[in-house]
Amino acid sequence: MKIETQCLHEGYYPKNGEPRVMPIVQSTTYRFDSTEHIAELFDMPTEFMYSRFANPTVDAVEKKLAALEGGVGAMCTSSGQAAALCSILNICKAGDSFISSSTIYGGTFNLFSVTLKKYGIECVFVDPTLSIDELQKYIKPNTKAVFGETLANPAIKVLDIEKFATFAHNNNLPFLIDNTFPTPVLCRPIEHGADIVIHSTSKYLDGHALQVGGVIIDSGNFNWENGNFPDFVEPDSSYHGMQYTKIFGKMAYIIKARMQLMRDLGCYPSANSAFLLNIGIETLPLRMRQYCKNAEKVAEFLSKSDKIASVNYPTVNHDTEQKKLVEKYLPEGCSGVVTFNIKGNKEDAMRFMNNLKLASNVVHVADIRTCVLHPASSTHRQLTDEQLVAAGINSSMIRLSVGLENVDDIIEDIAQALKFI
């Protein structure tokens, strides 16, 4: 099936007389005829038993998201942050290290650089423009994974996915990627060699700013039996000696994530949240194409304004390296997020934002309605000046998330607010 069809039909196939719309199974638990049956499920959870780690409504959305990205399985989480956390904890433990591109979302940056460090997991940040040979210098004996973000929030820089995948695979390591901004409609990183894809579903996938959520999708392609990942191969003492690769083959990563991490951490979305997320996904292809069209026009308008110092949006960007990456990875568009620097300081940026009438000041991005945010004073507030530079941000940068209003109205609003600087 093509992606438009998958968005509508994957994950839920009603049988004769069953509800046409995926039902909300609002129940923490499930009834069984015998104690023995439940005991068997504790050895091998083949059926739903408790909604801390699996639920039929969430399961349907997980199947849909796995299909959209071309993976073998998926696990939803209660936020994008929880997805990033679990994606790493499923591989790394205290004493391990992993490599991440420095151009990643501020929340993920803080999770990797501060919180994981407290638990003994080290993240080594690298400049994503380094060559494979230069990247190789950062590999250490305890490096367990490589992480990147397809279209960096908010730097709007496209990652060379194949370069990162090759670098990871040369070292027998999995490559994990955050594909939140493009969504599988604009880019499917597994086709370019990524092993694990994560999303904040709070953004375009939901699209309507209704609920926070995340997902981890497993390509099934990585060989966890290469000697580097004993936790996938050797018996798991917390699960009756379960051997993940032996029992689950290609689904070892995603099943281990659910059986160990979700069981113990419980950062699972509610059925109601999954139901709403599914409604968002149904119209995703239509929305993504229109976001891209609107954003291209807004970026073009901004790039022509004499009040604007620079615009970050791949179609108005003159960086030839970035142009090549856009053609390769995002040929159908680069999402609705445009960042730009106005001529002036932080106060000028804020005055411009305060005078917008249609676009709202919100801590969100990728909504159906146009919104703006000042990253340096909000989402990236915890970063030092050097870290801000590494993440591609400066203090007069504005992140504009172009919505689905008529683009002429969006541009008119920007034009009137620019008069205040």
Ligand X SMILES: *Cc1c(COP(=O)(O)O)cnc(C)c1O
Binding site for ligand X (CB under 6 A): 79-81, 105, 107-108, 149, 153, 178, 180, 200, 202-203, 212, 214, 365
Nearer to ligand X, 110 or 245 (CB): 110
CB 401, min distance to ligand X, A: 10
Closer Cβ to ligand X, 212 or 251, answer by number: 212
Closest to ligand X by CB, 79 or 315: 79
Least spacing, CB of residue 82 vs ligand X, in Å: 7
Smaller CB distance to ligand X: residue 180 or 315?
180
Rounded least distance, CB 38 to ligand X, Å: 33
CB of 416 to ligand X, least distance (A): 28
The minimum distance between CB 62 and ligand X, in angstroms, equals 16
- β-pairing, 196-200 vs 214-218, is antiparallel
Least distance (Å) from ligand X to the CB of residue 203? Answer: 5
> By C-beta, is 108 or 396 nearer to ligand X?
108
Q: Which CB, 194 or 251, lies closer to ligand X?
A: 194
Q: How far apart are CA 406 and CA 365, in angstroms?
A: 18
Question: What is the closest distance, in whole angstroms, from the C-beta atom of residue 357 to ligand X in the complex?
Answer: 25
Distance CA 132, CA 168 (A): 10
Beta carbon of residue 314, minimum distance to ligand X (angstroms, whole number): 16
Q: Which residue is nearest to ligand X (CB)?
A: 80
Measured from the CB atom, is 108 or 294 closer to ligand X? 108
Least gap, CB of 380 to ligand X (angstroms): 12
Q: Which is nearer to ligand X, 400 or 418 (CB)?
A: 400
Buried/exposed 238-261: b ≥16 CB within 10 Å, e otherwise: ebeebebbeebebbbbbbbbbbbb
CB closer to ligand X out of 145 and 251: 145
**CA gap 88, 222 in Å, rounded:** 15
